[in-house]
Amino acid sequence: MTMVPSLLSDPCSFVILGGTGDLTRRLLFPSIVHLAEQKKLSPGFVLVGFARSQLTNEQYFEDLWEGMTTVSTDPSVRSWLAERTFYVAG
């Protein structure tokens, strides 16, 4: 018997150390947006950025979103990710 892989990821927390860095802006966050557009992330998905800057969750998300060169045209993707994006300063 062969198992068919699930199209959705398991519920998870994706923690990015250095969450305000260049790698996050150029590669990681755009990849997460792409997965959200393709509806491949679980409803239990959470993104947590960790860095030294003092930012609110909203400031962090807006900073990441504005840095994207290819922004999703679907406003539901933006709001879905905004609800699941958090920031921790440390």
Cβ neighbours of residue 90 closer than 8 Å, sequence gap 6 or more = 50, 51, 52
How many Cα atoms within 13 Å fall on the side-chain side of residue 36?
Answer: 26
17 within 8 A of 49, measured Cβ to Cβ: no
User: What is the reported pLDDT for 68?
Assistant: 76
Element housing 35 (H / E): helix 29-37
pTM tops 0.85, yes or no: no
- 68 vs 20, higher pLDDT: 20
Average pLDDT for the chain: 88
> Which of 54, 56, 48 minimizes the C-alpha distance to 19?
48
Mean pLDDT along residues 21-36: 92
Q: pLDDT category, 42, cuts 50, 70, 90?
A: very high
